[in-house]
A and B are shown apart, each in its own frame.
Chain A
Amino acid sequence: MTTPTTNSPTVNAAEDLETDGPAWIGSALQPVLAILAALVLGGLLIAATDERVMKAASYFFSRPSDTLSAGWSAASAAYQAMFYGAVFNPNGNSFARQIYPFTETLTVATPLILAGLGVAVAFRAGLFNIGAQGQILMGATLAAYVGFTWSMPLPLHLLLVVLAGAIGGGVWGGVVGLLKARTGAHEVILTIMLNYIAVNLLAYLLTRPSFLREGSTNPISPPVAESAQFPLLLGAPFRLHWGFVLAVAATVFVWWLLNRSTTGFELRAVGSNPRAAKTAGINVTKGFVIVMILAGALAGLAGVAQISGTEGSLSAGVAASFGFDAITVALLGRSTPLGTFLAGVLYGGFRAGAVTMQTMTGTNVDIVLVVQSLIVLFIALPPLFTAARGRRSRRDKSKTTRSAGAVKEAQA
């Protein structure tokens, strides 16, 4: 595993995106290529695991065209179904039905964007926050509790639920920042451990009567009050809710914070070189705490998006694997707010499209997971190659144009 340290390629590349014009192309091109390569490999995998293809492959030499055409049709049908499920469905019997898939993509993207932003800001301060999962769960827990126990009029109740979610996640993240600042404990270990604590704490709470429905022992909380739910953005049947607007607002806020505020400048300074930052008079330990509270609060909002947006009640699986997907979203988005937003929408599309893909073509949903993982692999590989080559011959480094970091050097 590559642990992004303070001068990791990811963080550097992210810096390039904003500071250097021409390097922008290099760093945006790489994710696009990674996505394309992953889709091609995923297509091969779909073809290879398709039953008709396997059948046709058994007589490959007597009629090879069968295998090839079966493979092509399996992969293209799967991706077409994915497109129908994620972007636009031309077979829909009304305009609403036709654009339903894209709204579904945005719905699924909402928690991914919010949690992805949480991971991204931590990246920018040089912290590898793997704790988004736990932070989402804690945010969701607190938000749900406020949502189903209190009763209040709509705007106030929803506002308190959102606040509760941010606090729940913020505390869970802040603990990490505090421990790191005070004791020097590594944030990777801390966040992993806090993930376990969050999962088990939630499992425990879901056995307590105060968190369960009356007369039931099933581990699922009562539904949150209607006044605690995000209103639908487009009305029924669309699931898209105001949580998406929250995600957009959070993206803008994070952009402002990182690029236009003093705090953001300090955080980035801590991220690129903590010693230099300290020498320059920046309070590094305070930076760690602030950024982790912020990261946790953003992830906590992702929990709110689940509770008040799509799920409506608290259960052990309310966060799905969003906290871990968020890491890849932030990586793919180069830890920039806009990049994370777009990567979140892409992953939301994958998830939404996967549903249609498996019902329409019977393709296993796990293929989507493979494609997502391949993207991360392709993003992580080039910097690794660059590093290896750079070690072999320092002079050759300027020629390795694949890496965004190297592109910057070439420009210089």
Chain B
Amino acid sequence: MTFRARTMKVSAVLSLSALALAACGEAPEEDGGNAEASDFTGCIVSDEGGFQDRSFNQNSYEGLKAAEEKLGITVQQAESQAETDFTPNLNSMVQNGCDLTVSVGFMLADATKTAAEENPDMHFATVDDNSIQLDNVKPITYNTAEAAFLAGYVAAGSSESGKVATYGGLDIPTVTVFMDGFSDGVDYWNEQKDDDVELLGWDKKAQDGTFVGNFSDTAAAKTTTQNFINEGADVIMPVAGQAATGTADAVVDANADGREDEVTFVWVDADGYDTLSEDQKKYQLTSVLKGLSTSVEDVVTTAAEGEFDNTPYVGTLENGGVGIAEFHDQEDRVGKDVASEVEDIKQKIIDGEIKVESENSPE
């Protein structure tokens, strides 16, 4: 008892002194701010995911922050905890005199439309939604099917088992557009190579497939992935936001059993190689990139220069708004042949020789 009390005292003193040491730095000289001033205010409202979702909210936010650094504009942000926060958050932005408000996600479309109609002198940009046709609203959408097509081709080309899989978070167009493209990419491989790689988890014709029901349930994502692996799939593409880390975990587990044909995954939205852990990212085949950060930055920059327009922005392979990431550690598995074929296909899609069609693509 006394011994324990003493050790506790000692450790308390130690941790206190550590704290004190950390607080021993020099006081800085007082100085004023030195950021370049711009009287433009750029604002952003997230959907329920919040700005730390490692997915589209975060990427859009980073785009705005990049514009802040470059142009010295003022930035205001509001994170929505629930759908009921959308309207209050947008109203707050309007009242704070935001010049441009970026609303992230189609869920905000209704609220943004109302706010834009009531405030025709303020500008809005809607990420992942193009349902609003107003002079002061610029829709930002992505034809991710084109990029997912390339990923589907790579996946089919590097599958040993002849089975690849994909699943989504929710059955919504911004998700299924990935799955459509992936499916077409697999089909294209089969057509070109006279192969019969099978896709699990999505039936493009029936528009029906596997979904975990949200973008946060990592456990469900892991189980879903394990099921796919048990069915023989060796490349899995989760389109499930945060939940997708469940797939990375399941893939690491599967490979830990020392199997011959390595299981890999395809990340989406941003390059998973930048955010995933060391043991996870080595199994990343590639990532389907959605250039949210750059396009938000572009739109904010244009608006800050006083040249806002309401022409819809659609990210494509051609304008670099979508694409696929490098193969990183999986370069050998993909092989030089497939890699160069992918470049060809990319060019053909840009030229319109290969048509990637998805009913879920933005128009």
Contacts and interface: CB of A to CB of B under 8 A. Distances in A.
A143 to B, nearest CB: 15
A97 B20 CA distance: 47
Contacts of A220: 107, 110
B271 interface: no
A259 interface: no
B77 A358 contact: yes
A274 to B, nearest CB: 37
B173 A62 contact: no
Contacts of B96: 359-360
Contact of B23 (A58, A85, A104, A311): A58
A373 to B, nearest CB: 14
Interface string B100-117: 000000110010000000
Contacts of B24: 59-62
A335 to B, nearest CB: 25
B89 A355 contact: yes
Interface string A254-285: 00000000000000000000000000000000
B74 to A, nearest CB: 11
Q: Most chain-B Cβ atoms within 10 A of its Cβ — which of A57, A59, A318, A355?
A: A355
Given A320-B83, A359-B76, A59 B27 contact: yes
Contacts, number: 93
Contacts of A61: 20, 23-24
B345 interface: no
Contacts of B27: 59, 62-63, 66
A239 interface: yes
Interface in A45-78: 57-63, 66
Contacts of B79: 358, 364-365
B26 interface: yes
B92 interface: yes
B83 A311 contact: yes
A317 B77 contact: no
Interface in A325-384: 352, 355-356, 358-360, 362, 364-365, 369
Contact of B87 (A310, A315, A358): A310
Given A59-B24, A59-B28, A317-B83, A219 B170 contact: yes
Majority DSSP secondary structure for residues of B touching A: mixed
A58 B107 contact: no
Given A85-B92, A359-B96, A58 B25 contact: yes
A318 B82 CA distance: 8
A313 interface: yes
B172 A355 contact: no
Range for the number of chain B residues in contact with chain A: 35 or more
A82 B93 CA distance: 15
A220 B96 CA distance: 29
Contact of A359 (B81, B87, B92, B107): B92
A85 B79 CA distance: 15
Contacts of A108: 84, 88
Contacts of A311: 83-84
B171 interface: yes
A210 interface: no
B110 A203 contact: no
Contacts of B107: 220, 315, 317
A312 interface: yes
A239 B83 contact: no
A313 B95 contact: no
Interface residues of A, number: 44
B89 A318 contact: no
A362 B87 contact: no
B88 A355 contact: yes
B87 A239 contact: yes
Contacts of A312: 110
B89 A57 contact: no
A7 interface: no
Nearest to B106: A218
Contacts of A85: 92
A356 B236 CA distance: 42
Q: Most chain-B Cβ atoms within 10 A of its Cβ — which of A61, A317, A322?
A: A317
Q: Most chain-A Cβ atoms within 10 A of its Cβ — which of B76, B78, B118?
A: B78
A151 interface: no
A369 B27 CA distance: 34
A309 to B, nearest CB: 10
Contacts of B173: 217-218
Contacts of B88: 104, 108, 352, 355
B85 interface: yes
Contact of A317 (B84, B87, B172): B84
B177 to A, nearest CB: 11
Contacts of A6: none
26 contacts: A59-B24, A59-B27, A62-B26, A66-B27, A85-B92, A97-B95, A108-B84, A200-B213, A203-B213, A217-B171, A218-B173, A220-B110, A310-B84, A310-B87, A317-B82, A317-B83, A320-B81, A320-B82, A355-B85, A356-B92, A358-B77, A358-B79, A359-B93, A359-B96, A362-B77, A364-B79
Interface of A: 57-63, 66, 85, 97, 104, 108, 200, 203, 207, 217-220, 223, 237, 239, 306, 310-313, 315-318, 320-322, 352, 355-356, 358-360, 362, 364-365, 369
Interface of B: 20, 22-28, 43, 48, 76-79, 81-85, 87-89, 92-93, 95-96, 106-107, 110, 118, 170-173, 213, 360
| List of 9 A-B pairs having minimum Cβ-Cβ separation, nearest first | A320-B82, A317-B83, A60-B23, A59-B25, A63-B27, A320-B84, A58-B25, A59-B27, A62-B27
Given A316-B83, A359-B93, 19 more contacts: A57-B23, A59-B25, A60-B24, A61-B23, A62-B24, A62-B25, A66-B27, A200-B213, A207-B171, A218-B173, A237-B118, A310-B87, A312-B110, A318-B84, A321-B82, A352-B88, A355-B89, A358-B79, A359-B78
